[in-house]
Amino acid sequence: MVNENLVKDVVKEPYKYGFVTDIETEKIAKGLNEDIVRLISQKKDEPKYLLDFRLKAFKKWQKMDEPDWAGLGYKQIDYQDIIYYSAPKQKEKISSLDEVDPKLLETFDKLGIPLTEQKKLTNVAVDAVFDSVSIATTFREELAEHGVIFCSISEAVKNHSDLIERYLGTVVPASDNYFAALNSAVFSDGSFVYIPKGVICPMDLSSYFRINSGDSGQFERTLIIAEESSSVSYLEGCTAPMFDTNTLHAAVVELIALDDASIKYSTVQNWYSGNEQGVGGIFNFVTKRGKCLGKRSKISWSQVETGSAITWKYPSCLLLGEESVGEFYSVALTNNLQQADTGTKMIHIGPKTKSTIVSKGISAGNSTNSYRGLVKMGTKATGSRNYSQCDSMLIGDQASANTFPYIKSQQPNSEIEHEASTCRISEEQLFYLQSRGIEFEEAISMMVSGFCRDVFNQLPMEFAAEADKLLALKLEGSVG
């Protein structure tokens, strides 16, 4: 019989990033109303079109109901008990990293993301977001030489207003869903990436999101535009301190790929997931969507989801351009009382579009881990193909693994294949490995690693070392 306690120990890695940075912050009053929305916009000195965008979204949000179809059990969120804007106090304009509060730099240093000139990661440009604002972006000049714009969205609003006005909200409209509407009304910062025509981004780009304040939510917005024949690889990471209260994170990510462009978006999500009794943790409600507008464009989502008390996240691809490609590779690990409802939507609209879905769910403790995905072939998606594979691994008999694939086809000349399976760490395999002198823990690591290999192979190699330091995934702890 497998020693279940040992298995549980292997997947149980203490949360390393639960510390709080003691820094003076500027916060606005709790609560959400039209004045708060105006105040956020005013603080960021935004143009009128953006204020109108926020107010319109806020009005829509007020009329919407919080979705309950995912069957996630969490205590009702009091939207009036959240601070919608919190920023570390610092000088208005920062011309160089030397002017960033050393405490902030130290925080990111501790998280394994050194931002200073001497220590910064080579070949990876990082945009560091602390609570509601972006505090620093590295390698900007080097990127600018290639015409690549990589900055916080607030700066983009000031310096590249035409692009923001043209693309913001075109992939995830404000009325898309409850949390997207909320984000559209109160988003505070996020990253903006623009890759000009024909440019292969010379280095990987990365955003690092850190929630520091216990009573404020984080509502960042990311917009990536890849012009014709361009290519970019982007990684986002997230951590938060350990608080007994639940913090709301409602982000929106929009990707746009034009003809022959390719965007690879990788996420390593390690928000604080609450303690063993399910107290505290981040409520993570994220809307991520990519639009393959151009012919032969490609958007690839890869994600490793290990944190958050609640995860509600369906990175999607709208495949409009002929021969465009959508990919989704996901590993979701839940432990203790975590609940994850995650998956993807592949909407095939254009002809000869292709999509691949590989999802691996690992549930341990008393957690619930669901895959929920939609594959839709529209009437014009002739010659399109989809392949989906969803595997679940159960550790212990208290965890639950669910699979809910929605498959819809209106195009006879297209093919959809879906398969799903559930397994556990088998005693025979363990016995086999142990009989060959491999330690129990290592054997488990090998098997979990093998189970997730299809997805880990998709994570950018450049980040492999960083990801390890960056987030010390609970899963990676067991993978070794």
Partner 1 sequence: MEIIEKIKTNKLVENQTEIQKICLHKLKSSPLPNPKSELWRLSNKSKFSNFLDYSVNEKDLKFDTPYPKNSQSTIRLIIGENCQIKLIKENYSIQQLSEDELDKYIKEQISCFDQNENWSDLLNLSLSCKKNILGLKINGSKIPPIEIFSNASSNSLNAKTLVILLEKNCDIELLQVNLGKEKSSLSQSTFFCLKENSSVNHGVVSYGENGSNLLNSLNVIQQKNSEYNLGSLHFKFNYARFEINIKQSEGNAKTNIKGMQITKKDEQISTYTKIDFNGPNGFLDQINKSLADDKSHAIFEGSIIVPKIAQKTDASQLSRNLLLSDLAQIDTKPQLEIIADDVKCKHGATISQLNEEELFYMRTRGITLAEASKLQLCSYFQEIISFIPVSKDRWDLLDKLLNEN
For partner 1, the closer of residues 298 and 376 by Cβ is 376
> What is the C-alpha to C-alpha distance for residues 359 and 473, in angstroms, rounded to an integer?
17
> What is the C-alpha to C-alpha distance for residues 457 and 170, in angstroms, rounded to an integer?
31
Count the site residues for partner 1 by CB under 8 A: 34
Contact status: 418 vs partner 1 (CB under 8 A): yes
Distance of CA 58 to the CA centre of its chain: 23
Contact status: 8 vs partner 1 (CB under 8 A): no
Stretch that binds partner 1, among 125-133, 269-277, 418-426, 448-456 (CB under 8 A): 418-426
Contact status: 409 vs partner 1 (CB under 8 A): yes
Contact status: 9 vs partner 1 (CB under 8 A): no
C-alpha to C-alpha distances, 250 to 3, 10, 198, 335, nearest whole angstrom? 39, 31, 33, 22
Contact status: 64 vs partner 1 (CB under 8 A): no
Residues 335-374 as x/- pattern, contact with partner 1 by CB under 8 A: ----------------------------------------
Contact status: 422 vs partner 1 (CB under 8 A): yes
For partner 1, the closer of residues 90 and 369 by Cβ is 369
Contact status: 377 vs partner 1 (CB under 8 A): yes
Contact status: 406 vs partner 1 (CB under 8 A): yes
Q: What is the DSSP secondary structure assignment for residue 404, as one 8-state letter?
A: E
For partner 1, the closer of residues 240 and 377 by Cβ is 377
Q: Least distance in Å: CB of 449 to partner 1? A: 19
Q: From 183, 168, 155, select the one nearest 82 (Cα to Cα).
A: 183
For partner 1, the closer of residues 116 and 382 by Cβ is 382
Q: Least distance in Å: CB of 414 to partner 1? A: 8
Amino acid at 368: T
C-alpha to C-alpha distances, 320 to 12, 232, 288, 329, 355, nearest whole angstrom? 42, 20, 17, 20, 12
Q: Least distance in Å: CB of 429 to partner 1? A: 13
Q: Which residue has the tokens 């109901």?
A: 65
Stretch that binds partner 1, among 24-32, 208-216, 257-265, 404-412 (CB under 8 A): 404-412
Q: From 391, 367, 424, 436, select the one nearest 1 (Cα to Cα).
A: 424
Amino acid at 144: A
Q: Exposed, middle or buried by CB within 10 Å (0-12, 13-18, 19+), for 10?
A: buried
For partner 1, the closer of residues 116 and 400 by Cβ is 400
- SS3 string, 425-445, reads CCHHHHHHHHHCCCCHHHHHH
Q: Where are the beta strands (DSSP E) in 20-141?
A: 25-27, 86-88, 124-130, 133-137
Contact status: 429 vs partner 1 (CB under 8 A): no
Residue of 242, 420, 433, 446 that binds partner 1 (CB under 8 A): 420
For partner 1, the closer of residues 395 and 470 by Cβ is 395
Residue of 392, 445, 458, 478 that binds partner 1 (CB under 8 A): 392
Residue 309 CB partners (closer than 8 Å, separation 6+): 74, 246, 273, 274, 278, 280, 281, 282, 283, 337, 338, 339
Q: Compute how many other C-beta atoms are within 10 angstroms of the C-beta atom of residue 417.
A: 11
Stretch that binds partner 1, among 123-131, 151-159, 270-278, 409-417 (CB under 8 A): 409-417
Contact status: 400 vs partner 1 (CB under 8 A): yes
For partner 1, the closer of residues 67 and 198 by Cβ is 67
Stretch that binds partner 1, among 198-206, 329-337, 415-423, 448-456 (CB under 8 A): 415-423
Contact status: 398 vs partner 1 (CB under 8 A): yes
For partner 1, the closer of residues 80 and 379 by Cβ is 379
Q: Compute how many other C-beta atoms are within 10 angstroms of the C-beta atom of residue 430.
A: 19
Q: Which residues pair with 299 in a beta bridge?
A: 263, 326
Q: Least distance in Å: CB of 393 to partner 1? A: 9
> What is the C-alpha to C-alpha distance for residues 224 and 216, in angstroms, rounded to an integer?
26
> Binding residues for partner 1, per CB under 8 A?
377, 379, 392, 394-424
